[in-house]
Amino acid sequence: MDLDPALAPTHFIDSDHPVVLAFAREATAGAQTEREKASALFRAVRDRLRYDPYTVTGDPEDYRASTILTRDRAYCVPKAIALVAVARASGIAAWLGFSDVRNHLASEKLRAAMGTDLFVYHGYAALRVDGVVRKASPAFNAELCARFGVPPLEFDGSGDALLHAYDGQGRRHMEYLRDHGLYLELPLEEMLRAYALTYARTSASRGDDAAFE
């Protein structure tokens, strides 16, 4: 496998940007092994960027890792972009992945904003750790998970870390329906077309913790 493209910066995954490099250095301080670095980067992106599905935007600048990492909240796609970027900045080959998922516990507010409980092009990251490509979703921050009785996802490179199928009460939560594969760069136009075809309307207003439901 040629890993060079999965280590290189791109327009959106600008892993050579000073903001990205600084974030990666700080997050991995003290980490020795590739697994330790991957785990530290995952936790940093998961928790420093609060999950907010109402931050969806069509502005390309909002999907650059260097921009994302200057903010305090984002939805799944920017968070995945950020994780891929800091992984590449740390010498870990990484890709963007996309799946269509159904959120069985979506709030009425979110259903109304989206017109459905289907999340098309849910973003996740794929990191090559110790020679194996593993999928990881840094979408839901630990504080938010605690409020809803769901343990936060953990990632150490030994297995995949994808969204929970059930919540803390045993109710069906996230259901993966279709995987779109892995990408070296954000397919922005492809993703935005899918949004436009699927959603009655997309809210770009700021949300609150109820968005997790």
Q: What is the pLDDT of residues 87-135, one digit of tens each?
A: 999 999 999 999 998 874 556 666 666 677 788 999 999 999 999 999 9
The residues spanned by each domain of the chain are 4-103+119-139+154-191
Helix axes 76-89, 34-48, angle to 10 degrees: 150
Q: Given this model, what pLDDT does residue 105 score? A: 57
CATH pick for 4-103+119-139+154-191 out of 3.10.20.30, 3.40.50.300, 3.10.620.30, 1.10.1040.50:
3.10.620.30
Dihedral, CA of residue 17, residue 184, residue 8 and residue 52, to nearest 10: 20
- Ordered per-residue pLDDT tens for the chain, 213 residues: 566 999 999 999 999 999 999 999 999 999 999 999 999 999 999 999 999 988 999 999 999 999 999 999 999 999 999 999 999 999 999 999 999 988 745 566 666 666 777 889 999 999 999 999 999 999 999 998 887 778 899 999 999 998 765 566 666 567 788 999 999 999 999 999 999 988 854 443 334 343 333
Structural contact between residues 113 and 195, judged by C-beta atoms closer than 8 angstroms: no
Q: Given this model, what pLDDT does residue 149 score? A: 78
Q: Given this model, what pLDDT does residue 72 score? A: 96
Name the DSSP class of 158.
Answer: S
Sign of the C-alpha dihedral computed for residues 43, 100, 150 and 110 taken in this order: positive
Helix axes 76-89, 18-27, angle to 10 degrees: 80
Look up the pTM and report it: 0.88
